[in-house]
């Protein structure tokens, strides 16, 4: 039995320990906001947070994450930084087809949790594992910079 805390709820999973987290999220728990793209940790469509770090859930196996805290796109807005990222995504109107965007938002939220004012190089570096077939990269960069400003304004409002 493997225990996971997913979006604040605990789950005891009697599954093969080698099952990829992506299949647990989508097929067992119906959390289909996390997308399947390549299945090989090369496109970023399946990105979720494990203990706050962005990981590719298609290549993250249950046996390696027993007891971990998982956050998916369905609950990212409960993290204040995730809420700011989603707001910026809406304001900039980032998506085209939308398929890659859950993964992009999860990576951007993890990055802004570590680096509150990212440079262009930071963004290129952190986001390089998230592929967008529609080529929304310029809008993604703009939205990340806007999210950084929203987060900073919130912080100053609280001081
Ligand atoms: S589906 Fe996981 S990285 Fe592409
Ligand atoms: S918006 Fe279509 S793949 Fe990124």
Return the sign of the alpha-carbon dihedral for residues 75, 78, 84, 88.
positive
Q: Which of 44, 54, 61 to mutate to test the pocket of ligand 1 (most atoms within 8 A of CB)?
A: 44
Q: In whole angstroms, what is the distance from residue 135 CA to residue 44 CA?
A: 14
pLDDT digits (tens, 9 = 90+) for 78-135: 999 999 999 999 999 999 999 999 999 999 999 999 999 999 999 999 999 999 999 9
Residue 82 shares a structural domain with residue 56: no
Residue 119 shares a structural domain with residue 146: yes
Residue 26 shares a structural domain with residue 51: yes
Residue 56 shares a structural domain with residue 112: no
pLDDT surpasses 80 at 159: no
- 3-class state of residue 55 by DSSP: strand
Count of domains in the chain? 2
Q: Quick one: average pLDDT of 32-60?
A: 98
The response to whether residue 109 sits with its C-beta less than 6 Å from ligand 2 reads no
Range of the domain at 9: 2-71
pLDDT digits (tens, 9 = 90+) for 53-83: 999 999 999 999 999 999 999 999 999 999 9
Q: Which of 37, 129, 132, 133 to mutate to test the pocket of ligand 1 (most atoms within 8 A of CB)?
A: 37
Residue 59 shares a structural domain with residue 105: no
Residue 139 token pair: 């809008």
| DSSP bridge partners of 49 | 54, 71
Q: Which of 35, 46, 129 to mutate to test the pocket of ligand 1 (most atoms within 8 A of CB)?
A: 46
Alpha carbon of 104 to ligand 1 centroid (Å):
12
Residue 67 shares a structural domain with residue 80: no
- 3-class state of residue 32 by DSSP: coil
Q: Confirm if 66 and 120 have CB atoms less than 8 A apart.
A: no
Residue 38 shares a structural domain with residue 81: no
Alpha carbon of 81 to ligand 1 centroid (Å):
23
Please say which residue of 40, 71, 102 terminates a domain. 71
Q: Report the CATH number at residue 138.
A: 1.10.150.120
Q: Quick one: average pLDDT of 8-33?
A: 97
Residue 85 shares a structural domain with residue 153: yes
């Amino acid at each position: 039995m493997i225990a996971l805390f997913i979006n604040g709820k605990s789950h005891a999973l009697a599954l093969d320990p080698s099952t990829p987290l992506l299949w647990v999220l989508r097929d067992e728990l119906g959390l289909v906001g996390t997308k399947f793209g390549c299945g090989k940790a090369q496109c970023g469509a399946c990105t979720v947070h494990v203990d706050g770090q962005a990981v590719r859930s298609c290549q993250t196996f249950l046996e390696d994450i027993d007891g971990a805290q998982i956050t998916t796109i369905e609950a990212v807005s409960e993290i204040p930084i995730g809420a700011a990222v989603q707001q910026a995504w809406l304001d900039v109107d980032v998506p085209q087809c939308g398929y890659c965007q859950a993964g992009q938002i999860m990576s951007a939220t993890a990055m802004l949790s570590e680096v509150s004012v990212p440079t262009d190089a930071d963004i290129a570096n952190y986001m390089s594992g998230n592929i967008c077939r529609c080529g929304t990269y310029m809008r993604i960069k703009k939205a990340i910079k806007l999210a950084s400003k929203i987060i900073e304004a919130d912080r100053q409002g609280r001081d």
